[in-house]
Structure 1
Amino acid sequence: MVSLTLLSTALMGLLVAATFLAVAKVGAQRTAPGTDASPDRYAAVVGALRDVSQKPVVWAVAFVAIAVGVGGLALLAVGDFGLPEGLSGSLLGVTYAAVGLLVTGFVFLGAYFSARGRGLGNAHGVAAGSFAAGLVFLVLIAVLLLVGVVG
């Protein structure tokens, strides 16, 4: 038993040393921002995503796809399609989780864009969104404690 502990300690020590060496090597090869002449891929990707996200057609298609997906899951969960009962219950749980994540996502994004629209920075927006999402989870826990079962 002692030999296994010593072997584990030696392997963890080697892992820590290898991690420090890898971090030091990456830090030595790094160049200062803006000094390389290569085109900025990050800016290109962000610009392309911004162009796509500003089109109303993309938002409409995404909404229809999400609505059809959640509706299809709910229909499969409660309908009589010859699915095993265990799978139907699991699909209903997945449907509840999907709706809960959608509501939480809307609350997060609403608080985020509200903070950003008032001139605050990204960090303030994320803090407001996280606080709002935390309140959603707090309400869910309170309902679970009071009622017993949600869904």
Structure 2
Amino acid sequence: MATKTSKRAGETSTTVSVGIRIDPKIKFALDIMGRLQKRSLTAVIEWSISQALASQTDFDGGSLGGSLDKIWSTDEAVRTVNLAMHMPEALTFDELRIWETIRSSDYFWHTYPDGSFGDDFNRLVLSRIRSNWGTILSHVEKHKSSPTVVPMTANDIIIDDIAF
């Protein structure tokens, strides 16, 4: 996926380039829409997708656009956790494996006095997930052939951090 960064000083805006194949009739229709709306082809496509997102319902019956506002982050770790919290049905297998590793690893949770932890998202230590994201991904990749999720421990984090 190619990204294009604005050339103006101080700006951090980026766009993602996406190659698509569409029917010539649809392309013609988009060109006509662009003329009528005085928009570029890219702007018409973005507008059309935004309209589709607003009308698409998510798994809870709300708008997908509204859910995306809760999920989206430029930080991959935060985005994955948000997706798992707000729309777990949409997780890919790989994302689900990452999330299940986080869920089963007490290091990423504020534990109760008895050492237990649960799925109370208020007890999640997002800063530990963010600072160890690469280690989490490496751990999941290392154990991808395991039939069960292999939880991470503080020792896994410390050992991996020292290795870097």
**TM-score, length-scaled by structure 2:** 0.20
Which is helix-richer, 1 or 2? Answer: 1
Larger radius of gyration: 1
Which is strand-richer, 1 or 2? Answer: 2
**TM-score, length-scaled by structure 1:** 0.21
